[in-house]
Amino acid sequence: MKKQFVTAEWIKLFFVIGAIASLSVTDAAPKPPSDQGDRVVTGGDLAFMNDAAPGGRAEIELGRLATERASTSAVREFAQEMIKDHTKAGEQLEALAEQKKVKLPPGILPQAMQTKEKLTALRGEDFDREYVKAMVQVHEKDVVTFEAVAKNATDADVKAFAALTAPTLRHHLEMIRTIAERMNLQAK
C-alpha cells in the first residue's frame, strides 16, 4: 500500500513539474543538452551513475596501490593516469549527481574490493601481471557501458557525461592493452 502511495505521489509530482515547466517559455538561445536538474534520473541512467561512481573510486584506489607496488615504470605511469583521469571524472559525476539530487553510493563495489584484496598481497612482477589483467577486463567492460549510455541514456546530462568520458576510457583501454602485449599477457 505504501509503495502505491509513493508511486502515486511521484506521478503527481511529475505532472506538477510538467505544468510549471510549460508555463515558463523563454526566447533565450538554445543551451547545450541539459535538463538543468529539473528531471529525476531513473532506470538505467540511475543504475549507470550508481555503478560509475564506485567503479571510478576503485580505479583510483587500485591506481594508488599500483604506484606503490608495481615493478615497471609503464604500469606506474598508467596507474598515475588512472588516478588523475578517474579523479576528474569522479568530480564531474559528483557534480552531476548533486545537480540531479542523486545520492551516489559510497566506497567501491564488492568485486573491486576482492580485486584490491588480491592485489594487496602481491608485489613486483606478480602485482604488475594481475593489475594489468584486471585493468584490461575492467576497461573493456567500461568502454562498452559508457559508449552505450552515451548513445541511449534518457537524461541529456547523463548522456553528455558518458559521451565526454568514453574517449578517455577507450584511451585507457588502448594503453593497458599495449602494456599487456609487451608483457605477453592474456587478460581473460
Per-chain mean pLDDT for the chain: 85
The pLDDT tens digits of the residues spanning 101-132 come to 999 999 999 999 999 999 999 999 999 999 99
Binned at pLDDT 50, 70 and 90, residue 186 comes out as confident
pLDDT in tens, 55-71: 999 999 999 999 999 99
Closest Cα partner for 90 from 66, 113, 60? 60
Cell of 150: 552515451
User: What is the C-alpha separation between 26 and 177, in angstroms, rounded?
Assistant: 50
- Angle made by CA atoms 45, 48, 50, in degrees to the nearest 5: 110
Quote the pLDDT of residue 187: 56
| Residue of 150, 176, 142, 132 whose CA lies nearest to 52 | 142
Query: In b/e form, how buried is each residue of 49-67, taking b as 16+ CB within 10 angstroms?
Result: bbebbbbbbbbbbbbebbb
Domain boundaries, the chain: 42-182
What gap in Å lies between CA 77 and CA 82, rounded to an integer? 9
Residues 157, 120: contact at Cβ < 8 Å?
A: no
Decide if 107 contacts 54 (C-beta within 8 A).
yes
Q: What pLDDT does 188 receive?
A: 52
DSSP 8-state assignment for residue 93: H
Whether the CB-CB separation of 155 and 45 falls below 8 Å is answered with yes
Q: What is the value of pTM for the model shown?
A: 0.78
42-182, superfamily in CATH? Ferritin, core subunit, four-helix bundle (1.20.1260.10)
Question: Which residue in the block uniquely carries the three cell numbers 584486471?
Answer: 134
